[in-house]
Every structure is written in structure tokens, then in C-alpha cells.
Amino acid sequence: MEKIVSLCKRRGFIFPSSEIYGGINGFWDYGPLGAELKRNLRETWWKAMTRDREDVAGLDATIIMHPAIWKASGHVSTFADQMLDCKTCKGRFRADHIHSIACPQKPSKTVADCHGEKTEPRAFNLMFKSHYGPIESDDNLCYLRPETAQAIFAQFKNVVDSSRQKVPFGICQIGKAFRNEITPRNFTFRSREFEQMELEFFIKPDEAIRIAQGSVEQWSESADLSEPKPNWGWEMWHRYWVAQRTAYYHSIGVPGDVLDYHWQTPEELAHYARACVDILFKFPFGTDELEGIAARGNFDLSQHQKHSGKSLEVFDEELRAAANKLDDAAKESFVAQVADEWAARASKNNHPEEGARSEARAFCEKLFKGIYIPHVIEPSAGLDRLALAILCIAYSEVEKADPKGNVEKVTIMRFHPRVAPIKVAVFPLLKNKPELVAKARSVFEMLKKHLAADYDEGGSIGRRYARQDEAGTPFGVTVDFDTIGENGPEMVDTVTLRYRDDACQERVKISELLQRLLPEIG
Amino acid sequence: MEKIVSLCKRRGFIFPSSEIYGGINGFWDYGPLGAELKRNLRETWWKAMTRDREDVAGLDATIIMHPAIWKASGHVSTFADQMLDCKTCKGRFRADHIHSIACPQKPSKTVADCHGEKTEPRAFNLMFKSHYGPIESDDNLCYLRPETAQAIFAQFKNVVDSSRQKVPFGICQIGKAFRNEITPRNFTFRSREFEQMELEFFIKPDEAIRIAQGSVEQWSESADLSEPKPNWGWEMWHRYWVAQRTAYYHSIGVPGDVLDYHWQTPEELAHYARACVDILFKFPFGTDELEGIAARGNFDLSQHQKHSGKSLEVFDEELRAAANKLDDAAKESFVAQVADEWAARASKNNHPEEGARSEARAFCEKLFKGIYIPHVIEPSAGLDRLALAILCIAYSEVEKADPKGNVEKVTIMRFHPRVAPIKVAVFPLLKNKPELVAKARSVFEMLKKHLAADYDEGGSIGRRYARQDEAGTPFGVTVDFDTIGENGPEMVDTVTLRYRDDACQERVKISELLQRLLPEIG
């Protein structure tokens, strides 16, 4: 890991924020190569979510939102760590860490064992607080969003009203989020300011599928997840998104063997969640979460409907038409069945069965009119974590002999061409030969109209290759004496195309370069 | 303006943030079409700054940085409005607004004239404050950045060390910034959370140009600004960037007649600035600033060098080599000349001349060694203001007669194809004719691999055209009976290509669609 951190600083992928002022714990900046890498990752995700699909719309909401949103979401009351203070050293520590943290005054002892008198643990909310407007009072307290998802729920109605999307459909967003982590760690993995890429995919309740389609398709190991079907309930949709997101990771060069999946156990699941799977990545410091994909029921929209007093229900013409075809007996038997199911679930969770039954009845009455609050599947990915994963996969060292036979270790960043910050570098063999330089410049100008290109004439050609290998540039183009016809007419206007990963070279016509490179990148 | 605000909400360009909770003053969200418009604007700016040039590197820094940065920049002490409180009504008002704001208790009077007792005006800092780390104390007070520029100065050294850029070169960044405006107004024009696109372009001090090039090119109305030259000083570079930024606006469909330029007078200029021009846009609510382009001397890097204790000087081999060719007499006369110039400037600003002379001497001694702190030209643009300007330019109403002869006003958003959220929409003439639908789907699938495309089969073809006109989609493709060969073989696999701006239509082969559309967009 240290080697990756050091390369990131040396080559301008990632710097500590505010480094000339000693840095600020938990904040990281992306340098020239890192900013391009991150842009490419954002772009691939956004393209996979919106351009390549017709059922997802984008959103770009503010970081500071109405504080009531965080009451509705539960973040004000529960997004907290338990902390205790030591009255002796004045330190504040996470209650679940005191057995492993050294006492600042007596480092031979842990905080749990030292003699300092501790307070009882108290909840410490992880949201950054601020105030808006001219007066700093509780009335205009606001929060930096700890996730981008809530804006999607808050704007659900506006998106439905202004677009032609109908359930099932999704709203996605990329943006900054903030968590005042007590102990930021593992380079950029757990930072206080980070970027999320979140999708809320809204689906019909399973009960609506039963009315409109007769039954809900059951998931099995052999289920076909390639194309959504009208009889899918939450489970198929959830499995579908796990498959989609896995395919996305593969498409940007994250192979299956560095990923892992953790299916949350009933004890781990949030009370409202039906299922949640974490997509894990094998980082050098341990296997940890890259993305969570949760089936959240209709918890979020219900909470916002309750707290805002605004209806977040949708009307589903197809559902109403199907319900209208049921006779009273069929409706009654449907309601009875749903009530039984809800009561059974309530009883399992130690909630009163009768309440669940009457809720089920009210829910079914609305369903028969074609009205419901959509359920949601939430694939929520961390952009900085993905960038770090991509850096970890790409990093490799090989031993190389220089012309004198000295062996040295060199670094190659094996980025997938789709996410590489620079796609191609163009080199004149020598910089003091004007014909070579002019030709190389013209090749460079031609390529850079279509892809991120670099031009480099400084130092030996070997050194320039090494520089681009470290930056992760997948292709190199060298203009040499053959190109300008000094060794006969056959090779005129051909160049050497060099592949970063195996250092293989081949001769390619300049006029064919683009059609060779573009398909690798697109 | 009301019509634009209303269209923005209705069609999903811009929504009030947190609207279901009553909104939050000064915060706005971008809906599906707005998010794409903003993405396109970011993309054109980033491409103009980085992909199309070799002398600018990108950066992506955090919003929360070390608080010392805002002391060094002057924001902690001076980024403030004068405010006063009314002890009677407890309101807080901008001191320069009390003659125009109505008293909340007696609206017939202004705050200046009402009977409430007011405090003396006090400075109210516009930066949003927060705290990082587990303890809320002055020691870990932090700010949400009020501009993206300072991160560029703070990371200047890291970028120089990790890239091969040499002065003159720039670092650019796009990102959110926050200002706790007392009175957010004019839709998204003055909001509390906004996005900036900033470039800091670092140049050599004019004195270094004189040593290395003999003299500094003087600007005149007829100066050639197309290509930077080695003998350019700050004035030519400043004019160059005004020309570059103007060309950028033209390239995305902002014509010259809606722009204006305000050259700040000596009284308006910040004390360290050599010149500043505001590029103004004629908004419906008045002509106001879109971008500021300032020649800031070396104020920023000098401040950060002083406050951080880290050297932000660069070494310039060419300059040293040129200085080495000067004999002692030439050096002495150069120093004397620079000292005279600096002393004259100091005297004009009522600063002590002798101090300026000794600073000039120390500065020249370093210059002779090839060492200096770069100066900077800063083109700083507001992304939300640009999006608003683009919406204002695009908005137009035309009268249309329906087939029955009824005339109605319809809205057309005349976005330049480069920034339009959707580039092309594909329509089957009828949705209940499977051959038409299948063909239209295949055309859509082909197009959407290359550009943002929409597929629409709902409603009459006229209604679908109108829907896309409102969304600002520049091209429409209709698959009709000719396309599928029902009217003979000649027209098979041709479609109607419709142009939004004049509603003209022409017949185009499907196989030629891409080569017709891509050049308009790229």
C-alpha cells in the first residue's frame, strides 16, 4: 500500500489535501492524473446508468438541503457513533475502540485500562453541521449531506412530474458527501469528504405485480437476469442490479477474482431492508466494501411522505385496469392473503399483528385503485473507493534491464484503456530532428481530437516509455526515420504502436491508428 | 424570467432544493435535463482547458481544506458583508440595504427609517463554517470553500513536482463552492451553493521576460492574440485569456451581442490586482457577471508561501542562462530600473518607496538565479450562471397553428447542439405498427452508442416534436412507411431528419445519419 500511496503523490494521482499547511486528516485531493481517472470513472458509471439505458434519469442536487430531510431519513437520530471522553487527558474516543487505542498520556496502556476517568458513552453524530442565513441559531442549522441518496427521494415527485419515466425506473446522482469519521484511515478508503455514485431504482410492490401479472417470478440460481420482465418483484430486481453492477466492474477492468460478495444476515439488515449485498474488493489492507446494493422496501419514500406531508404515491393505470377485472371475492381473498403475510412478518419482528393487518388492508384498497408508494433497490457505490481499487489493480512492478544490463524495478499502471487518464502518447524518436518533431506533432494533433493524448519529446525513448507506463497510458506511438521515409518509401507514414502491458510493438499506418485505438477505449 | 423558471421546473431543468419541505432559500437542484445540460457545459469547459491544450493540468480538490488557507487568502478577515441587527424586531440586515428593505414589523417604512433601535454595523463573514473531528472547538473550525481557486494555489507545488508542466502553464478545477449570501436572488444567479470553473494560469514576472527576451511585448488593439509568444508579459496573457474565454462562449452558442465587458477601474481593483475584466451577460433581470478574468500578480502564491512557510518559487533554467550572460553593469542597471519602477508604483499606492526598492533588489537577485514566484491570470467562471445564461438564450416562443387552425404559443429551447441535453430523438410514425417500431428501435440503438438519444413513441408526431422542441433536442428522426418500403423500394432505409430551429425536414439515409449529426455536436 505504501508504494501505491507514494506513486500517487509522485505522479500526481492523489495528494494530501492542504499539504503545505500540514494536511487535514481525512481529506485528499486528486492531482492531474487522478482528476482524469476520476472523471473517466464518473463517465463510465453515468453512461452505464443513463446513456445505455432508457429507464434511469439523472439528478444533480445540492449538498446542503433542508434539515428536515435528515430527520425524515433517520440520520439526525441514528447516524452516530458512541463516544466517550476521558476527563484526565480530554481525549474523545469511540466506545468500541477503547480496548485497542493507546492512552495518549500512557501509551503502554489502552484507553480502557488507563487511570483516566471516563464519561459514559454518548452518541456523536457523524454529520458535519453548519448554519445558513445571517443568524447562527438552531432554526437555521443545516447539514452537509452524508449521502447523495436522500436528494433523490426528496425530488422523486418533481422527476416523475417532469419526465416521462414510469415505475419501474431509476434516478441516479453523482456527488460529494461528508461524514465526520472519528478515525479516517486506509488512504482514501475512509475519508471525511468523498464522492458517491448512487442509483435509486423504483419498482412496484410485489403485491402490485401479483395483481397485474398473476404471480411474481421467483429467483433461482438459474434465473435469467439479462432483461427485466414485467413479473419481476423486488428479489429479481435486486439480483438483476447485483448482476448489472458486477458487469460494470468487469467492463472497466475489475476482474472477478478481486471482488467478493457479502450478503447481509437478518441481524445485520436495517429493519426496513429486505436484503442487502455488499460488493467487496480485496484491498491490500483487507477486503472491504466498494458498493452496497440494498432492497429498501418503501421505507424512504414513506418517511418523506410522512414528514413532508406531500404525497409520494404514484398512479399505475395498468394496475388499476388489472384490479378492475377482479371480482369482489377475488379482491377479498387477495386482501386476506396479503394481511396474513404482513401479520406473519410483523410477528417475526415482534410487532403487533393486528396493526400490520389493518395496514395491509389500507394498502390493498389503494392498490386496487392503482395507487402505491414505490419500493426501491439502491446500488450505492463509492467513487473514491473505486478509484483506489482501480489504482490497486493497476499497480504492478516488473524488472527491466537497461541497455547496460543493469536490472531495475519499474512500475507499470495497468489501467483498462477505458479508465486510463491518458489513452495514447506520441513520441518523436529524437527531438532535435525537425522532420520527426513536425510529423509527431501532426500525429498528436490528429489523435487528440478524438482521445486524451500526450506528446512527449523529453529524454531517451526508453525513459519516455517508462514515464507513460507509470502514468498507465495503454498505447504509445513513435515517429521514427522510417515514418519520414529516410529508410525507403515502403514504411512512409507508418509508426510504431507500442502496447503498455507487454511492451510489444507493431508497425501501423498513421491513417489506421484511430480505428485501432478507438474500439479499445469506447 | 418567470416563464423560464416555470419551464425549468415543468421540464426538469431546475427544481427548488428540498421543495417538498418548503424549499431552502438559495439552493437549487438540477433535474434530468438540467443535470445533462450542466454535464455538457462542464465537459466543453474541461475540454477547452485540458484536452485541447497542453499547458493546463486538472485538479479535483476537497471542499473542506485546512482553515489556514482562508487566513492566507484573506477570506477570514475580509470576505464579509457589513450587517446590523434591529434590537426591536431581532432582524439582521445588510448595512448597505437598509434604505431599500421594508421593516418586517412596519412594512410601510424601510429598516433605516423605522423606530427599531439598531446596532452598529458589524462584519458578517460569508463563509459557511463547520467543525471536523470529534470535538467542536475553535481548534477544528473549518470552512466550506467560498471559491475553488485557493486549492489550486495550495497544490501548486505538488502539481509542479508531479507533472512536466513548466511556467507558463495553468491548473484548472471545476467544483462546488459556498457563500452564505444574505439575500440569494435572481433564480440560480446568486445562490448559496454553486459550482465554479476556475483556471489559474501561472506566468513569469514581466521582469523575467525582459531578462530572457530583451523586452516585453506591448498590447495594442491590433495585437495578435492567437498564439502565445515567449515575450508576452501579464498584459498580453490577460488579453489572451479574455479572447480565449470569449471564443469559448461563442463555441457553445453564446453570441457576442448578449455579452458585455466591464474593465474594472483602479478604484474597483483589489490592491494586488493589475487588471480585471468581468465578462457580463445580458440576463432578463439585468446585465451581470458571468466570469471574471483577473491579473492577480503573485499575491496568492506569495501569501501561501508566507503563511505555510513552504517555498512556492520555481526555478527557470532559461532565465538563469539569460541572466548569466549579463555582465555586472547590465545587472546593476537592470536592478536600478526595476527598483525605480517598484518605487514609483509604491508611491502611487501611498506605500513607502524605500521598502519597495529593497524588495525589488532582493527580487532581482533571485531572478538572476532563475528563481521567482509565478504571477497568475485567473479566468473564473460560474457554471450555474452559465447554465442560466444558456437557458435564457435558448428560450423562445413561436406561434403555431394546429391542424384545425388554432394558433397557440409553443416554447422552443434553441440550445447549441454541443450543450443540448438530448442530441437526437427517434420516433416511429405510429406505435401500433410493429415494423415501424422495430425499425425505429434499431435506428435508436445505433445512434445512442454515439450520442445522447431519446426514443419516443407516445402521442401524435406533432406532439412528440413539440415535446423535444421544449427539451431543446436539435434533431429528430422519424421512421415512417417509406422507411420500411411500403411506398416502393426507392425510399427504403431513409428517414425524415427534422431540424428543431426551423422545423425543416429532409430525407436522409439511415447509414448517413451519424456522419450528418456527429460534426454538429463534436
Cα separation, B342 vs A109, in Å, equals 61
Q: Which residues in chain B have their CB less than 8 angstroms from residue A164's CB?
A: 456, 458
Q: Measured between CB atoms, which of A24, A62, A154 is closest to B193? A: A62
Cα separation, B216 vs B225, in Å, equals 14
The pLDDT, as a whole number, for residue A59 is 98
For residue A217, the 8-state DSSP code is: B
Exposure of B279 by Cβ count < 10 A (0-12 exposed, 13-18 middle, 19+ buried)?
A: buried
Least confident range from A398-402, B331-335, B489-493: namely: A398-402
Q: For residue B68, give the 3-state DSSP assignment.
A: helix
The pLDDT, as a whole number, for residue B201 is 98
CB atoms within 10 A of CB A16: 20
Q: State yes or no: pLDDT of B76 exceeds 90.
A: yes
Mean pLDDT in residue range B319-335: 97
What distance in Å separates residue B416's CA from the closest CA in chain A?
20
Nearest CA in chain A to B151: A18
Q: For residue B462, give the 3-state DSSP assignment.
A: helix
Cα separation, B363 vs A350, in Å, equals 78
Q: How far is CA B20 from the centre of its chain?
A: 30
Please state whether B297 falls in left (phi above 0), alpha (psi between -120 and 50) or beta: left
**Are residues B69 and A193, on separate chains, in Cβ contact within 8 Å?**
no
Report H helices in A113-171: 149-154, 156-162
A389 CB-near residues (< 8 Å, 6+ apart): A254, A258, A281, A283, A290
Nearest CA in chain A to B58: A32
Q: Is the torsion defined by CA of B39, B447, A47, A228 positive or negative?
A: positive
The pLDDT, as a whole number, for residue A159 is 98
Q: How far is CA B39 from the centre of its chain?
A: 13
Q: For residue B183, give the 3-state DSSP assignment.
A: coil
Closest C-alpha to B206, from B305, B351, B342: B342
Report H helices in A252-298: none
What distance in Å separates residue A375's CA from the closest CA in chain B?
19
- Residue B181 grid coordinates: 449570501
The pLDDT, as a whole number, for residue A317 is 97
Beta strands in A80-216 (DSSP E): 80-85, 92-94, 122-125, 129-131, 141-143, 169-178, 193-203
Q: Measured between CB atoms, which of B51, B60, B192 is closest to A35? A: B60
Cα separation, B277 vs B297, in Å, equals 15
Q: State yes or no: pLDDT of A27 exceeds 80.
A: yes
Nearest CA in chain A to B307: A21
Q: Measured between CB atoms, which of B21, B52, B157 is closest to A66? A: B21
3-state helix, strand, coil in chain A (%, to 5): 35, 25, 35
**Are residues B158 and A9, on separate chains, in Cβ contact within 8 Å?**
yes
Q: Measured between CB atoms, which of A17, A130, A307 is closest to B65? A: A17
Q: State yes or no: pLDDT of A477 exceeds 90.
A: yes
Cα separation, A54 vs B425, in Å, equals 12
Nearest CA in chain B to A36: B58
Nearest CA in chain B to A51: B452
Cα separation, A39 vs A421, in Å, equals 9
Mean pLDDT in residue range A207-214: 97
- Using only the alpha carbons of chain B, give its radius of gyration: 28
CA distance to A273, A373, B191, B428, per residue, from A353 (Å): 19, 22, 49, 52
What distance in Å separates residue B258's CA from the closest CA in chain A?
27
Closest C-alpha to B382, from B103, B195, B238: B195
The pLDDT, as a whole number, for residue B7 is 97
Mean pLDDT in residue range B200-224: 97
Q: State yes or no: pLDDT of A115 exceeds 90.
A: no
Q: Write the pLDDT tens digit of every residue in B466-510.
A: 999 999 999 999 999 999 999 989 999 999 999 999 999 999 999
Report strand pairing: A122-125 vs A80-85.
Answer: antiparallel
- Where residue B444 falls among pLDDT bands split at 50, 70, 90? very high
Q: Write the pLDDT tens digit of every residue in A233-292.
A: 999 999 999 999 999 999 999 999 999 999 999 999 988 899 999 999 999 999 999 999
Q: Which residues in chain B have their CB less than 8 angstroms from residue A134's CB?
A: 83, 92, 124, 180, 182
Mean pLDDT in residue range B127-149: 93
Q: Which residues in chain B have their CB less than 8 angstroms from residue A33's CB?
A: 162
Q: Which residues in chain A have their CB less than 8 angstroms from residue B65's CB?
A: 17-18, 24, 27
**Can you name the residues that pair with B376 across neighbouring β-strands?**
B202
Exposure of A21 by Cβ count < 10 A (0-12 exposed, 13-18 middle, 19+ buried)?
A: buried
- Where residue A163 falls among pLDDT bands split at 50, 70, 90? very high
Q: Measured between CB atoms, which of A19, A154, A458 is closest to B18? A: A154
Least confident range from A282-286, A402-406, B114-118: namely: A402-406
What distance in Å separates residue A208's CA from the closest CA in chain B?
24
The pLDDT, as a whole number, for residue A402 is 77
Q: How far is CA B34 from the centre of its chain?
A: 16
Cα separation, B283 vs B420, in Å, equals 20
- Degrees (nearest 5) of the Cα angle B98, B185, B8? 160
DSSP class per residue in B76-93: HHHSEEEEEEBTTT--EE
CB atoms within 10 A of CB B394: 20
- Where residue B90 falls among pLDDT bands split at 50, 70, 90? confident
Q: Which residues in chain B have their CB less than 8 angstroms from residue A26's CB?
A: 132
